[in-house]
Structure 1
Amino acid sequence: MMKQILFFLLITCVFTPMVNAQDSGVHFEKGVEWKQVVKKAKKAKRLIFLDCYTSWCGPCKMMTNKVFPNDTVGAFFNKHFINAKYDMEKDSSGVMLKKKYKIAAFPTLLFIDPKTEEVVHKVVGACDVKLMVEEGEQAINPEENLKGLRARFAAGERDMAFLKGYLFTAMYARESEDQARAMQAFLDVVPIRDLADQATWHIVSKAPLNPLSVPVKHMMDSLDYAYQVVGKEKIDELLKWMFYDYAYGIARWTPESGQPFNEEANDLLVKYLLRFDHVSSPARLAYVYTAKCAREGDYKGMLDKMQEAFSYNVFRENDGVTYFHLFMDQLARSTDVAALRRGIDWIDKETLKTTDLMLLSNLMRRRGNLLKAMGEPDAAEKAFELEKKYKDDWVKVTTRPKH
């Protein structure tokens, strides 16, 4: 069940060509509505295996051409499941199921109990032949599939091997809440010295971490020891991305999110960043300090903080672009006309610095939002038209055949 090495075989798609179905291997129900698949599975007393794909998904095409036609995969899946597949954007059942199961990446592979239509196991991303059979075996095991692992965790099971299995299963399924729970429990029982183990470190480095968690506090309180045992480069890389994710979340927070702002986490993050002597720390602090002004409605102060951060050149690569766009989005919540005009002028200056079509499209969207907040709908509409034009031009350029 562990399958750590094969973890890297999981890939999800962005934009690639159409998929063509195969007749051999896994026998999928063809031209059958979802309710009929459920009825058949109930009668056969089998789980449903559902391949959620789209016509533009490259990894989906790989699965169709290389994995599903395989005799070993076919023999196992035809014996244990009623198999179905739908285009999530074109088939009527697919469109419905995409909404029902909140499918956000492709391929997504679901194993469903027909009695309740509940997902008992899940994989997001493409698998090779070996992994596909392993996932099927795990799905039919009520103690080892995702549903079973959740139940065992809820019952208080905390054995190290169990936690590793639960964590990897959650990673494959892209279930962030499960990952967070399993990681928290895993780190609670793993001493820092064991992080030097390659398999253990792989788990730690791939799962979400919360700066407020006891393990992270312990690591920060023993940072020099962690450097000595694991290696400074590895620890720094882990903390860099953890602090980035948390600072980014702080920058995006608004009262409309429905979640109370966590002042304790904010203050602890600042404390950590001031201690974390890393090239990325000033940029993360810029996010946090600027976000404080936005939360307080001090948009003039927010813009001042932004200009200060850029003047000190604290950002690396595209981080400054992300920072700029995030706080221009925050500025659109303002009613301060002077601050809104200042933001628009700043965007206009940025447009003169680039010929990147997608960046220009993103800038025009922010410009339109600020103009809309100022009560200038006509000017805002022109900005949104430019946003679409730049995006369309970008699509034409990036999809143009290469000779």
Structure 2
Amino acid sequence: MKRTFLILIISLSSGWLWAQEGVKFEELTFQEALEKAKAENRWIFLDAYTSWCGPCKMMAEKVFTRAEAGDFFNIHFVNVKSDMEKGEGPALAKKLGIGAYPTFVLIKPDGTVHDKLVGGSDVAGIINRVENSMKSEKTVGTLTMRYERGERDKQFLLEYLEALLKVSDIRQVREVAALLTEQLTDTEKVEPTCWSLFDNNDLAPFGSANYHFLLENRKQFYRHVGREKVDTRLANLYAGVLSSIVWGRDTKTTPDDVKVMERVIRELQTDRKKQLLAYVAMANAYKKKDTGKLLKLCRKEFPRFSDADVMMMVMPVSVYFRSQEDKEALKEFVEIGKAFIPNLNIQANVDYVSYYFTELERQL
């Protein structure tokens, strides 16, 4: 009797310690994990991460180490993790259609992908998301199976597209969006259910057919989708394009394209209008390599800029001045940049911009 009781105590103690360890990720290749899951009739929980991903680190250090996480995942899954940029990771990311991090892949014992969950959560959040997914019959995995069986009606393609967008499977997103667009009438395209075709940089990049359809049918989109959504979409799109010009990454956008953007920006109802028009002026000055004009614009516009403008325009312009063999222009730009720092409210931006302009000053 004493011996039985002692064994029970040891077993309970071992189980408690095991749970306290958090999620037990096994050192297995993907194929080995599939084989183990099939043999044990268990699902696979794959943590797809990268070394530079902040939310991935948070999940690894703050969530998966928790006892509650261990209690749930160690019982229900063969748990594995893979750096998507090392070893078999790149091939696995391509195979599973992973384009954002962290992505948590739920795979059934027979090896079929059931779902992909993107983004970090707290302990309760990730457990809830996984439990709800396991009960659902409309996950990205089940919809993919229906698609592979040949289902192509409009309602299904819309549903599948939304699921793919949530997991950032860009290759499949483009394929499904193209099939859906072929079936839609112009009247259907302006409906709220189809807005994702136009509110996405991969499906409606600047200059694309979807972009031009949005621009040419703005009034219809205003009525059906709402002016705020449409104007916000165009403002964000133009901010990205104009920033890319000044970064030197966009060499295809013409002066005429910039004129069209300026005209549309003037018609938008957005509190970013002044900033966007400043972006237009800076893009035009950059294209002409007019250093004097750029300096005047920086001195005039930077005081109006905020945290949102740091990576969109302040840093691109700084790259231009850093690359010029004009010490006086660089000196003036550094002065303008340092005076801009008090406008910032996010401490990370304050630290970054302060360090950056201090380093620029050392080049003088």
Q: Does 1:299 align with 2:291?
A: yes
**Distance in structure 1 (CA, Å) of the matches to 2:168 and 2:85:** 20
Q: Does 1:124 align with 2:118?
A: yes
The one-character-per-residue Cα deviations of 1:75-120 (angstroms, maximum 9, x if unpaired) are: 7xx6xxxx332385xxxx996466665788654123689xxx9x99
Which residue of structure 2 lines up, in the alignment, with residue 57 of structure 1? 59
Trace 1:192-203 onto structure 2 (pairs within 5 A). Answer: 192=187, 195-197=190-192, 199-201=193-195, 203=196
Q: CA deviation at 1:299?
A: 2.9
**Distance in structure 1 (CA, Å) of the matches to 2:38 and 2:154:** 39
List alignment gaps of at least 5 residues for structure 1: 1-19, 377-403
Q: Does 1:169 align with 2:163?
A: yes
Select the residue among 329, 335, 351 that pairs with 1:361. 351
Question: Which has the larger helix fraction?
Answer: 2
Q: Does 1:272 align with 2:264?
A: yes
Q: Which residue identity lines up with residue 306 of structure 1 in the other structure?
A: C
Does the C-alpha gap of structure 1 residues 227 and 140 become closer, same or farther in structure 2, counting only changes over 3 Å?
closer
Q: TM-score, normalised by structure 1?
A: 0.59
The one-character-per-residue Cα deviations of 1:28-83 (angstroms, maximum 9, x if unpaired) are: 87543427725836986999651236552289828977788569x977xx6xxxx3
Q: Which residue identity lines up with residue 297 of structure 1 in the other structure?
A: K
The one-character-per-residue Cα deviations of 1:14-38 (angstroms, maximum 9, x if unpaired) are: xxxxxx99869xxx87543427725
Q: Does 1:262 align with 2:257?
A: no
Q: CA deviation at 1:346?
A: 1.7
Which residue of structure 1 lines up, in the alignment, with residue 318 of structure 2? 328
**Distance in structure 2 (CA, Å) of the matches to 1:223 and 1:174:** 27
Aligned residues of 2:26 and 2:80 also touching (Cα < 8 A): no
Which residue of structure 2 lines up, in the alignment, with residue 233 of structure 1? 228
**Distance in structure 1 (CA, Å) of the matches to 2:272 and 2:216:** 20
Q: Which residue identity lines up with residue 129 of structure 1 in the other structure?
A: E
The one-character-per-residue Cα deviations of 1:340-394 (angstroms, maximum 9, x if unpaired) are: 111122233334667964333222332245346x4x5xxxxxxxxxxxxxxxxxx
Number of aligned positions between the proteins: 322
Trace 1:21-36 onto structure 2 (pairs within 5 A). Answer: 30-34=25-29
**Distance in structure 2 (CA, Å) of the matches to 1:237 and 1:70:** 41
The one-character-per-residue Cα deviations of 1:115-154 (angstroms, maximum 9, x if unpaired) are: xx9x997432253412245489753776348xx59xx7xx
Which residue of structure 1 lines up, in the alignment, with residue 307 of structure 2? 318
**Distance in structure 2 (CA, Å) of the matches to 1:235 and 1:370:** 39
Aligned residues of 1:47 and 1:111 also touching (Cα < 8 A): yes
Aligned residues of 1:192 and 1:219 also touching (Cα < 8 A): no
Select the residue among 189, 213, 216 that pairs with 1:221. 216
Aligned residues of 1:250 and 1:288 also touching (Cα < 8 A): no
**Distance in structure 1 (CA, Å) of the matches to 2:253 and 2:156:** 32
SS of the residue corresponding to residue 206 of structure 2 reads coil
Does the C-alpha gap of structure 1 residues 253 and 192 become closer, same or farther in structure 2, counting only changes over 3 Å?
farther
Q: State percent identity of aligned pairs.
A: 16
Q: Which residue identity lines up with residue 262 of structure 1 in the other structure?
A: T
Q: TM-score, normalised by structure 2?
A: 0.65
SS of the residue corresponding to residue 323 of structure 2 reads coil
Q: Which residue identity lines up with residue 354 of structure 2 in the other structure?
A: M
Q: CA deviation at 1:159?
A: 3.9
State the superposition RMSD in angstroms.
4.9
Does the C-alpha gap of structure 1 residues 87 and 23 become closer, same or farther in structure 2, counting only changes over 3 Å?
farther
Does the C-alpha gap of structure 1 residues 321 and 35 become closer, same or farther in structure 2, counting only changes over 3 Å?
closer
Does the C-alpha gap of structure 1 residues 190 and 331 become closer, same or farther in structure 2, counting only changes over 3 Å?
farther
**Distance in structure 1 (CA, Å) of the matches to 2:17 and 2:178:** 42
Q: Which residue identity lines up with residue 50 of structure 1 in the other structure?
A: L
List alignment gaps of at least 5 residues for structure 2: 1-15, 50-55, 120-125
Moved more, 261-270 or 335-344: 261-270
Moved more, 239-248 or 46-55: 46-55
Moved more, 264-273 or 161-170: 264-273
Q: CA deviation at 1:171?
A: 1.6
Which residue of structure 2 lines up, in the alignment, with residue 8 of structure 1? none
Which residue of structure 2 lines up, in the alignment, with residue 243 of structure 1? 238
Q: CA deviation at 1:164?
A: 1.6
Q: Which residue identity lines up with residue 343 of structure 1 in the other structure?
A: F
Trace 1:29-178 onto structure 2 (pairs within 5 A). Answer: 30-34=25-29, 37=32, 40=35, 49-52=45-48, 54=56, 56-57=58-59, 61=63, 83-86=78-81, 96=87, 106-110=101-105, 122-125=116-119, 126=126, 127-134=129-136, 138-139=140-141, 143-144=145-146, 148=148, 159-178=153-172
Q: Which residue identity lines up with residue 143 of structure 1 in the other structure?
A: M
Aligned residues of 1:37 and 1:84 also touching (Cα < 8 A): no
**Distance in structure 2 (CA, Å) of the matches to 1:105 and 1:370:** 33
Aligned residues of 2:105 and 2:116 also touching (Cα < 8 A): yes
